[in-house]
Amino acid sequence: MMPVFDRIFYNSFIKTMETVAQSPSMELVNGRYQIQGIDMLELVEAYGAPLFVYDAGKIAEKYQQMTEAFHGLNCRIKYPVKALSNINILKLFRKLGAGLDTVSIQEVRLGLKAGFEPHEMIYTPNCVSFDEIKEAVKLGVVINIDNISILEQFGHEYGDSIPCCIRFNPHISAGGNSKIKTGHIDSKFGISVYQQRHVQRIIKANNIRVHGLHVHTGSDILDARSYSQSAAILFDLAHEFPQLQFIDFGSGFKVPYKPGDVFTDVYEIGEELRQAYQLFTKEYGREIEVWFEPGKYMVSEAGFFLMRSNVIKPTPATVFVGVDSGLNHFIRPMMYGGHHEIFNVSNPGGIQRIYTVVGYICETDTFGWDRKISEVREGDILALRNAGAYGYSMSSNYNSRLRPAEVMIINGEAKLIRKRETFDDLLRSQVEVEL
């Protein structure tokens, strides 16, 4: 149950946006694509292209679905900052009642800047120095430890004065392709469940107070049984830790990337876990909180990436559409093989033709092969769906290209939440020396 203030705000927020939240984020109205009544081509005229656009109403809708699906679980939602880290998005999640999942000390500081209390944030780094762990302790966030070396150092430094969470690797191979699976035996994430006895010896020797357990098996998980397996492992482990306040199941829920695509049924997972949780609490003797960290699920469908077509380039085998962006702005298709639907905002009624959409980076940076898109002309604006998660947050200045602007649409109003970079931004941290 979220705090009373947050619940009142949340109900009010949802009410003001319910007509938007119950419909697709971007709709075709009288031949023009809109989000909450805001015309996309007019947005490009105002802020330029390429441009990231986020629908706050869709984010609110997804948060509501999570709270509904996991009711009865004493559930807390911790939004992963790495998915979309703009401070205004973080402020939105704070108003909705979420906490934060952070993976770096910089994300911790960003969360504090956005108004989160330290206890509302869990810090789950990977392969960082112990100095960064100590800095996070000073800031007061929940510390999540994922390797034995750091656990030993933590015990030597703090004993039972500072509690911690432990991230276990359950050795469950769940999710999509190998690059987004994190719970298998060769993963760098977490302490193996088979090292549990070693962990217990370290805890006992250093009098470490463990108040949380954590697993995250991967992304694009469809099968509720994966969560049931994780639950069985964690609930079994929990009996070895009598001071627990929470168990964190991570996330990895799959979202639909194309029409008819499969996606995670969070309500089914909620039902599966409710039954296991009720049995566990009877055995454990008291209720503890259940945490989830849905990043892609919360923001992916809320985001669109608008790009301008620079050139139409026919070859003997392919018709390329070259756009004013590339892997420097949106790397998921190239890094993970992620599929993102592409459509023509400027010419929605045009004849469907087959194109391969590519970027302007001096590398292979293909957004989509052999896509059926309404006829594209040079200068048309194309939109890429599911651009809310791991888009801008994974962008770079490769080829000395500038990062785009970001706009959030909330309550029928478009708000600029990040300016487009300038050439001066490229040089800001560089120091010229005499040669």
Q: In this structure, is residue 98 part of a structural domain? A: yes
222 assigned to some structural domain:
yes
Half-sphere exposure (Cβ direction) of 400: Cα atoms closer than 13 Å:
6
168: tokens are: 């276990």
In a domain, residue 105? The reply is yes
Residue with the bigger pLDDT between 189 and 409: it is: 409
The number of distinct structural domains making up the chain is: 1
- Mean pLDDT score, 75-84: 97
Q: How confident is the model at residue 218 (pLDDT cuts 50, 70, 90)?
A: low
Higher pLDDT, 234 or 226: 234
* Domain contains 21: no
Domain span at residue 272 reads 57-297
Q: Do the beta carbons of residue 75 and residue 291 sit within 8 Å?
A: yes
**pLDDT tens digits for range 170-180:** 887 544 444 43
Q: Which residue has the higher pLDDT, 137 or 259?
A: 137
Question: How much is the pLDDT for 37?
Answer: 96
Per-residue pLDDT for 259 more than 60?
yes
Residue 336 covered by a domain: no
What are the Cα distances from residue 164, in Å, to 124, 228, 248, 413? 11, 24, 13, 42
CATH of the domain at 274: 3.20.20.10
The pLDDT, as a whole number, for residue 14 is: 37
Whole-number CA gyration radius for the chain:
23
Active centre residues (catalytic)? 362
pLDDT confidence band for 263 (50 / 70 / 90):
confident
| Residues 76 and 289: beta-carbon distance below 8 Å | yes
pLDDT category at 269 given cuts 50, 70, 90 is confident
pLDDT for position 233:
86
Residues in the chain: 435
Q: How confident is the model over 271-295, as a mean pLDDT?
A: 93
The answer as to whether 397 is a domain residue is: no
Residue 195 located in a structural domain: yes
- d(CA 255, CA 80) in angstroms, rounded, equals 16
State the pTM of this model. Answer: 0.90
Q: Is the pLDDT of residue 116 over 70?
A: yes
High-pLDDT (> 90) share of the chain, %: 77
| Closest alpha carbon to 357 in 379, 332, 382 | 382
pLDDT confidence bin for 19, thresholds 50/70/90: very low
Q: Residue 396 domain-assigned? A: no
Q: What's the pLDDT at 432? A: 95
Average pLDDT rounded to a whole number, residues 56-72: 95
What's the mean per-residue pLDDT of the chain? 89
pLDDT band of residue 407 (cuts 50, 70, 90) is: very high
Residue-wise pLDDT tens digits, 142-161: 999 999 999 999 999 999 99
